[in-house]
Amino acid sequence: MISKSPPVGRIYDVNGPNYPSFDFSKIQQGALNLIQAKQCIRRRVHDREVDNERFLTIKGSQEYLETIEGQRCLVCGNNVLGYEVNAFYDPYVNNIMVPLPFLEFPVFHESFPRSFLHGSIGSIIGHEISHSLDENGKMYDGNGDKREWWKRNWTKEYDKRAQCYVEQYGNIKIPEFNISLNGTLTLGEATADNEGLKIAHRVHQKHISKLNESAKTETVDGFTQDQLFFLGFSQMWCRKTAEFTLYERLFDEHPPDEYRVNMAAMNSPSFANAFHCSSKSKMNPKHRCAIW
């Protein structure tokens, strides 16, 4: 059952912790103007729990808006600016936000293969959607109010499945420093990476199923449609990381980029099928983590 509200439908699944249902029929586009941004800030503090950090963020947003009166900007949910190359989920208003610069080269281009874009942009959007049901997002209902709306057995089953990610990521040791990741700290982002990839791949499969046989088997530079999907996903995180930056990531909720890619791919049976990984390959393990 879905209670619809733009830009992304409210998320409810009466069957509990099975694969959730979403509604994308009312996705909005364009920029929030100054008035909309101020209204957003006011909504955040009306009948909501606001901790010190959140209060300072809201106060800073108001002060910033007062200095740019009359300008068009995109400010709402985590104080997002229209020129920021990132995507966000805001539990306080239950929506995701993808600023326009995120949809420009080299992240996005109309010449990129459709399957490649499913893996790149699709996995990012899936990532943000998944945050709505991570260990923090699931504490907020469809209206963005913090309350316990899950049944106890749902929460128990969710925690059981989430513990797999905690242990899996906690067993990752960064060789440069001989330090293991904090699986509890990275749980929210690990969940979003893995489940977001799954959401994107389902969209990809649905698209492929509608193609004719010739298009389904078409390759680009020798890569199949499914392989292009995972290449698009991994390309997003391909970068050179300075050692001091890598060290900082050990204490960040986001795992280092290498592991964001490899762990999500490893937990995806579709990845192993796409690249014909042997049963002995670490990228095709017997036991995988999954929540939905």
Q: Which residue has the higher pLDDT, 57 or 288?
A: 288
157 noted as active-site residue: no
What are φ and ψ of residue 213, in 5° steps?
-60, -35
> According to CATH, where is 3.40.390.10 located in the chain?
118-274
In 3-51, which ranges are continuous DSSP H helix? 34-45
**Res 179: pLDDT:** 94
Least confident of 62-66, 157-161, 215-219, 252-256: 62-66
* pLDDT tens track for 46-85: 545 555 544 545 455 555 444 444 433 344 444 555 555 6
170-180 mean pLDDT: 95
Select the more confidently predicted residue: 67 or 264: 264
Q: Which of 90, 128, 141, 226 is catalytic?
A: 128
**Strand ranges for 47-126 from DSSP E:** 88-90, 95-97
Surface-to-core class of residue 190, CB atoms within 10 Å of its CB (0-12 exposed, 13-18 middle, 19+ buried) = buried
Could you give the percent of the chain with pLDDT greater than 90? 52
The yes-or-no verdict on residue 124 having pLDDT over 50 is yes
218 is catalytic: no
Beta bridge partners of 173: 180
Least confident range from 146-150, 181-185, 202-206, 277-281: namely 146-150
CA distances from 53 to 50, 56, 78, 259 (A): 8, 5, 11, 29
- Look at residue 281 and tell me whether its pLDDT is greater than 90: yes
Residue 291 confidence (pLDDT)? 94
Q: Which one is predicted more confidently, 231 or 59?
A: 231
* Cis preceding linkage at 106, omega within 30: yes
Instruction: Tell me what pLDDT residue 86 has.
Output: 76
Tell me which of 73-77, 234-238, 260-264, 275-279 is least confident.
73-77
Higher pLDDT, residue 96 or 64: 96
Instruction: Report d(CA 167, CA 89) in Å as an integer.
Output: 25
**pLDDT value at residue 40:** 55
128: pLDDT strictly greater than 60: yes
Give me the catalytic one of 90, 134, 193, 226.
Answer: 193
The share of the chain scoring above pLDDT 70, in percent, equals 71
Residue 250 confidence (pLDDT) above 60: yes
Q: Which band of pLDDT confidence, cut at 50, 70 and 90, is reported for residue 22?
A: low
In whole angstroms, how far apart are CA 128 and each of 41, 64, 97, 180?
A: 21, 25, 8, 26
Indicate whether 35 pLDDT > 90. Answer: no
Peptide bond into 7 cis (omega under 30): yes
- Confirm or reject CATH 3.40.640.10 for domain 118-274, answering yes or no: no
Q: What is the reported pLDDT for 2?
A: 32
* pLDDT for the residue numbered 236: 83
Neighbours of 104 (CB within 10 A): 10
Buried b (16+ CB within 10 A) or exposed e, 134-153: bbebbebbbebeeeeebeee
